[in-house]
């Protein structure tokens, strides 16, 4: 949990840099670091547990998260 607290503190420390940022910038500097701090590996091609822009029935979600081979979130 310390990793998550440090990540959030870091984001808050530099929040002025994010004012007016577009969605891709927020994903890169806020969402992905938080997911990594929570233990999700967005760089592992073998597991592909973080899937960006994932298609769902009614459109797409920004990120789908897998546990093993099962979509969970």
Q: What is the pLDDT of residue 26?
A: 96
Q: What is the pLDDT of residue 25?
A: 96
pTM: 0.86
CB burial readout 48-66, b (16+ within 10 A) else e: ebbeeeeeeeeeeeebbbb
Q: Give the confidence band of 51 by pLDDT, cuts at 50, 70, 90.
A: very high
- Distance CA(69)–CA(62), nearest Å, equals 19
């Amino acid at each position: 949990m310390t990793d998550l607290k440090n990540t959030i503190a870091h984001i808050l420390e530099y929040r002025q840099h994010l004012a007016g940022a577009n969605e891709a910038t927020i994903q890169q500097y806020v969402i992905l670091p938080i997911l990594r701090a929570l233990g999700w590996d967005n760089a592992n091609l073998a597991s592909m547990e973080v899937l960006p822009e994932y298609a769902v029935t009614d459109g797409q979600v920004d990120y789908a998260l897998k546990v093993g081979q099962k979509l969970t979130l």
